[in-house]
Amino acid sequence: MPLTAAVISGRSKVSLSAGAALKEPTVVPAQHLTLEIEGEDLPETAYLDDRKLTLLRNDARSRAFLMVDAAGSVGFHCLRVADAEWYFATDDAKLKLNGILQILDYLEDEGLSWAGQLFFADGTAVRHPKVDYAWLQRKAPEMLELADAIATRPLRRAHLFSSSQAPGAGRLFLKDTLALLRTNARGLLEENEHGIVAVGDRRYSPRVVVAGRLERSFDIVGNRRMTHLLLLTMALSRSLQSEPRLLGAVTAALRALSEDLRTRLEMFPFLQLRVKPKRLPSRPAPEEIADDRYRRAFDIYDELSREMAWEPGLQIADRLAYVASADQIYQAFVAVVLARAFEAKQMVPSLFPDLSGPLFRSPVHDIYYDTIPPKPEFASWRDGSSRPGDHKPDLTIIDRVGRKGVLTDAKYRVEQNGRLPTSGIHDAQVYLQTFERKSIVICYPGPAASVTRVSAKGYTILEVSLGPFAGLETYAREQVRPVIEGAMEPLGS
């Protein structure tokens, strides 16, 4: 009997359809929910959004319940029990999804996209096919050129290979030879009055020794890395060919690139090395420092594997994955839009959290991204306590010339009336109190350009609507930037 699941919300009960690939999950209100699972011999635990939870089962273990507080948890959720899996969505998750996809499309269409991938504090990354394709367009011609140059004149190095052989040839490895003789002394030794092995009054010579010989080999780090780079790039190109968000002309270009890569992989020495284990050090080998061909190949490989976070088998994030990362994507969107408004350039290739320095910089301004604000400019009262704080505002914007700055938070939340929810203001109050500031900026995805000032008793919260609406860049530059600059306060020293 297959497992079945349903969501109980108030007086209504909605059955869920099984299947991880479901395109339109059931939508239920974002409130306290009860998940009901029926089947035979139900397990003790289930997984909700990868969190292991205990099921409340009846005595027959044929029916189980899971209580879920989904209030304020707008988005998609995955319930997994044994081998069965169901998706469901809470409240306006569909609108939330559409909003995130609009943000991604806006970043691409307006040329504001982050240079590489978007990395989160937990080490994961959201991939976007157009980001991957842009990287291939930029790097593939150079990569093919390097493969041709290396195949024309590949480097090789002398390696010392060891093997069991008759005495007299090659460099003797004494330690390895003695270890071999101990395994079968009777069979590997023969009596010889001039032998090198003495046992009592008798002397013996080994019939077999372990010796080494020098051979020049093309199996070096530089050639293996170039081979693996071609394999990685071909895997990436093929994965994008089935991506529906890329146009047909792009798919044709990817097929041509895959064929070019396949041709290079049939050249020497790549054909022989493609079956070898990767065994690649993270640092460049000598030839990757001294030889310009291998040095450039190392740089491309490092960018693809580290900054682009690509490995075979990785799947481009699907629609559900985008929604699960909605808050982080909106945070990155706000960072990119405000950086453009402040004429600040991105200092590292991708959007990484927890950097020690600013992610964006202009001649006047520094913008820190998803990291603890710099000290002593933004000191927390808890720094001197027995339990120092680790609060990380989404953005910290500093005017280096005027020695002033402001904390900025990004909340992917909006009420029915298009305003920032009260819960977003509550979070901002924590930053005000922790860093002893009088003003803070909160950005939220309102439907249109709007800046609202919430002030009392010397404290100010600026609610700034930032979304992929028409005229966003002009509005951010001409209206939002002056408001943020006006909210800046003197820095600590």
Per-residue pLDDT tens over the stretch 409-463: 999 888 777 888 787 788 788 888 888 899 999 999 988 999 999 999 999 999 9
* Statement to judge: residues 381 and 455 lie in one domain: yes
Alpha helices in 270-356 (DSSP H): 270-273, 287-290, 292-302, 319-324, 326-341
* Statement to judge: residues 375 and 265 lie in one domain: no
Per-residue pLDDT, 71: 66
> Does the pLDDT at position 317 exceed 60?
no
**Does residue 444 belong to any structural domain of this protein?**
yes
Q: Do residues 117 and 126 lie in contact, with contact meaning Cβ atoms separated by under 8 Å? A: yes
* Statement to judge: residues 209 and 83 lie in one domain: no
* Statement to judge: residues 334 and 410 lie in one domain: yes
Where b means 16+ CB within 10 Å and e means fewer, 279-296 reads ebeeebbebbeebebbeb
Q: How far apart are CA 373 and CA 1, in angstroms?
A: 56
pLDDT band for position 155 (50/70/90)? very high
Per-residue pLDDT, 119: 62
pLDDT band for position 187 (50/70/90)? confident
* Statement to judge: residues 233 and 204 lie in one domain: no
Q: How far apart are CA 463 and CA 465, in angstroms?
A: 7
Packed helices 221-241 and 129-152: angle between N→C axes, nearest 10 degrees: 140
pLDDT band for position 17 (50/70/90)? confident
**Does residue 213 belong to any structural domain of this protein?**
yes
Residues 6+ apart with CB under 8 A from 314: 127
Q: How far apart are CA 402 and CA 440, in angstroms?
A: 18
Q: What value does the mean pLDDT of the chain take? A: 84
* Statement to judge: residues 194 and 53 lie in one domain: no
Is the previous residue joined to 281 through a cis bond, with omega within 30 degrees of 0?
Answer: no
**Does residue 467 belong to any structural domain of this protein?**
yes
For the segment 476-492, the average pLDDT, to the nearest whole number, is 96
**Of the candidates 307, 332, 362, which is a domain's last residue?**
307
Q: Which two tokens stand for residue 146?
A: 């390097």
pLDDT band for position 324 (50/70/90)? low
Per-residue pLDDT, 367: 97
Q: How far apart are CA 452 and CA 290, in angstroms?
A: 59
**Of the candidates 64, 91, 118, which is a domain's last residue?**
91
Amino acid letter, 277: P
**Of the candidates 251, 279, 307, which is a domain's last residue?**
307
Predicted TM-score (pTM) of this structure: 0.58
For 236, phi and psi rounded to 5 degrees?
Answer: -65, -45
Per-residue pLDDT, 44: 94
> Does the pLDDT at position 31 exceed 90?
no
**Does residue 171 belong to any structural domain of this protein?**
yes
> Does the pLDDT at position 390 exceed 90?
no
Q: Which two tokens stand for residue 223?
A: 């050639």
For the segment 55-84, the average pLDDT, to the nearest whole number, is 84
For the segment 295-322, the average pLDDT, to the nearest whole number, is 71
Start-to-end CA distance of the chain, whole Å, equals 69
Query: With pLDDT > 70 as the criterion, what percentage of the chain qualifies?
Result: 85
DSSP symbol at 399: E
* Statement to judge: residues 23 and 47 lie in one domain: yes
Q: Out of 155-164, 220-229, 255-264, 391-400, which region has the weakest mean confidence (pLDDT)?
A: 155-164
**Residues of the domain holding 70:** 4-91
* Statement to judge: residues 364 and 245 lie in one domain: no
- Work out the number of other CB atoms within 10 angstroms of the CB of residue 111: 7
* Dihedral sign of CA atoms 162, 164, 167, 169 in order: negative
Per-residue pLDDT, 159: 65
Per-residue pLDDT, 245: 64
> Does the pLDDT at position 384 exceed 80?
no
pLDDT band for position 78 (50/70/90)? confident
Per-residue pLDDT, 88: 82
Nearest CA to 319 among 55, 37, 96?
Answer: 96
Per-residue pLDDT, 21: 45
Per-residue pLDDT, 92: 59
**Does residue 57 belong to any structural domain of this protein?**
yes
* Statement to judge: residues 477 and 405 lie in one domain: yes
For the segment 369-378, the average pLDDT, to the nearest whole number, is 92
Q: Do residues 173 and 324 lie in contact, with contact meaning Cβ atoms separated by under 8 Å? A: no
* Statement to judge: residues 350 and 417 lie in one domain: yes
In this structure, the chain runs to a length of: 493
> Does the pLDDT at position 22 exceed 50?
no
Position with higher pLDDT, 32 vs 357: 357
Q: Which of 153-162, 224-233, 341-350 has the highest mean pLDDT?
A: 224-233
Q: How far apart are CA 312 and CA 309, in angstroms?
A: 10
Position with higher pLDDT, 447 vs 227: 227
**Does residue 256 belong to any structural domain of this protein?**
yes
* Statement to judge: residues 208 and 228 lie in one domain: no
> Does the pLDDT at position 230 exceed 90?
yes
Q: What is the CA radius of gyration of the chain?
A: 31
Q: Out of 153-167, 271-285, 338-352, 455-469, which region has the weakest mean confidence (pLDDT)?
A: 153-167
**Does residue 269 belong to any structural domain of this protein?**
yes
Number of domains in the chain: 4
CATH number for the domain spanning 17: value is 2.60.40
* Statement to judge: residues 332 and 478 lie in one domain: yes
Nearest CA to 481 among 328, 344, 333, 329?
Answer: 344
Q: Do residues 205 and 196 lie in contact, with contact meaning Cβ atoms separated by under 8 Å? A: yes
**Does residue 8 belong to any structural domain of this protein?**
yes
Is the previous residue joined to 269 through a cis bond, with omega within 30 degrees of 0?
Answer: yes
Q: Do residues 70 and 30 lie in contact, with contact meaning Cβ atoms separated by under 8 Å? A: yes
Q: Out of 24-33, 196-205, 257-266, 479-488, which region has the weakest mean confidence (pLDDT)?
A: 24-33
- For 111-150, how does the pLDDT look when each residue is reduced to its tens digit (9 = 90+)? 666 655 566 555 555 566 766 787 888 899 999 999 999 9
